Chain A
């Protein structure tokens, strides 16, 4: 009885047995332990029966003994079925190959479009994109995602303000906003130089125009420094005033430095896991180790896979696990003060032009509260305070 279950797995044949000694043959089969089943009388001297293919060799001599003859009617079972299928292998392989190719092609970069850029910028952008791996024929799921691309490209290109990256099917669209660098006006119109802010004049160098202030003089914001009117009274001439007026100005900055700071730094060891997300089920493809890091940072990049124009319920996930190291920095009060001063200086520097000089710094106020050092710093700065103010000439005056 148990043999019935194995029928589809083992290959078996249906045969027609013809002859007088059929009963003897069956008995002989039993004696030889050859399984035979579904014995059915088809006509007066013939029966049909099923036999395992592996037993046919042992079956032949029994046929001779009993004077029966066999004819094969059907071949069944997995091996025969597989063989029949294999006869159509070209079709099946072709179909599978077609699906595989269609799938691969659906996930490839086919086109790169750039809009809003002049030819030079476009060329630079395409080169920068090529360095990031965006080329025709690359697999989309192996590239960084659109947001990262946008950030990296915008950083790589210095003559554009913004690059919008979007992925439309198999086409990457780059939308470029170029920086418009205004051309310098060569022709100078008549103008005065006025003070940018409250200051004490330190030094001045006037190329053109009539200086109206002297060193050590205090000026308010907006007061006239160099006049555009030159010449004696009555014969005045308008010129564009030009010069540098160094003034001493004052800045106050407040900084707060915590005495204890915790940092997260990468130790450099990381693990990359590749996964396939199938209907929300994550199947690891490569990388099974978890790293067993004490502290770690995990970043994931998920790319949906496409087939033709449909997005499959599958996506490719690249998971990166980086080991981090917690570093605790503790300042003494003096160290915190130094750090605070450096920070304050940096902050002031940000506000100043390149040619400005910090002449003196003073601590106005300092306090320690809640584990933080609060510093209030005062700076004396020498900077160019001249700003241009055009002289409006009223027509018909």
Chain B
């Protein structure tokens, strides 16, 4: 059922040009150079260290790697991370 619904939404997004983040609960990630990363639509923190931030998403995880991480702000659906960001990876594992 869930799978089917996802299929429908994906089809709608593609055919009707609807914003994907809103329709499919995908993260919207804004980066300002290496300095800031702003992630909306996350589902909580899994791990946090100086070099790594692991966020839970609706599907899978998001891993951000870099140096000197500081969580500037964290709200239920948004997070602003500061530091020198080296990479953003998607992790399928739940």
Q: How far is the CA of A261 from the CA of B4 in the complex (A)?
A: 107
- B93 on interface, CB distance cutoff 8 Å: no
Instruction: Please state if A27 and B71 are interface contacts (CB–CB under 8 Å).
Output: no
Note all chain A residues with C-beta closer than 8 A to B47. 23
Note all chain B residues with C-beta closer than 8 A to A183. none
Instruction: Please state if A41 and B69 are interface contacts (CB–CB under 8 Å).
Output: yes
Q: Which of A1-51 contact B (CB under 8 A)?
A: 1, 3-4, 22-23, 26-27, 29-31, 33, 35-41, 47, 49
Instruction: Please state if A39 and B44 are interface contacts (CB–CB under 8 Å).
Output: no
Q: How far is the CA of A36 from the CA of B74 in the complex (A)?
A: 7
Q: How far is the CA of A23 from the CA of B80 in the complex (A)?
A: 15
Note all chain A residues with C-beta closer than 8 A to B73. 1, 3-4, 37
Instruction: Please state if B50 and A41 are interface contacts (CB–CB under 8 Å).
Output: yes
Secondary structure at the A interface, as helix, strand, loop or mixed, is mixed
Instruction: Please state if A30 and B76 are interface contacts (CB–CB under 8 Å).
Output: yes
Min CB distance A43 to B, Å, is: 9
Min CB distance A46 to B, Å, is: 11
Note all chain A residues with C-beta closer than 8 A to B90. none
Instruction: Please state if B74 and A23 are interface contacts (CB–CB under 8 Å).
Output: no
Note all chain A residues with C-beta closer than 8 A to B76. 30-31, 33
Interface size class of A (residues with CB under 8 A): 20 to 34
Q: How far is the CA of A39 from the CA of B81 in the complex (A)?
A: 9
Instruction: Please state if A40 and B70 are interface contacts (CB–CB under 8 Å).
Output: yes
Q: How far is the CA of A36 from the CA of B80 in the complex (A)?
A: 12
- B28 on interface, CB distance cutoff 8 Å: no
Q: How far is the CA of A36 from the CA of B76 in the complex (A)?
A: 11
Instruction: Please state if B48 and A39 are interface contacts (CB–CB under 8 Å).
Output: yes
Q: Which of B32-69 contact A (CB under 8 A)?
A: 44-50, 54, 69
Q: How far is the CA of A22 from the CA of B48 in the complex (A)?
A: 8
Note all chain A residues with C-beta closer than 8 A to B74. 26, 29-30, 36-37, 39
Partner of A39 from the list B46, B54, B70, B75 (CB cut-off 8 Å) is B70
Partner of B44 from the list A1, A30, A40 (CB cut-off 8 Å) is A30
Contact A38:B80 (CB < 8 A) given known A23-B47, A23-B48, A27-B45: no
Instruction: Please state if A38 and B44 are interface contacts (CB–CB under 8 Å).
Output: no
Q: How far is the CA of A250 from the CA of B54 in the complex (A)?
A: 125
Note all chain B residues with C-beta closer than 8 A to A4. 73
Note all chain A residues with C-beta closer than 8 A to B48. 22-23, 26, 39, 41, 47
Q: How far is the CA of A193 from the CA of B71 in the complex (A)?
A: 119
Name 18 A/B residue pairs within 8 A (Cβ), A-sorted: A1-B80, A3-B73, A22-B48, A23-B48, A29-B74, A30-B44, A31-B76, A36-B74, A37-B73, A37-B74, A38-B70, A38-B72, A39-B71, A40-B70, A41-B48, A41-B49, A41-B50, A49-B71
- Seen from chain B, the residues whose Cβ lies within 8 Å of a Cβ on chain A are 44-50, 54, 69-76, 80
Q: Other CB < 8 Å A-B pairs besides A23-B48, A30-B74, 19 of them?
A: A1-B73, A1-B80, A22-B48, A23-B45, A26-B74, A27-B44, A29-B74, A31-B76, A33-B76, A36-B74, A37-B71, A38-B72, A39-B48, A39-B70, A41-B48, A41-B49, A41-B50, A41-B69, A49-B71
Which 6 interchain pairs have the tightest Cβ spacing? A39-B71, A27-B44, A41-B50, A23-B45, A40-B70, A26-B45
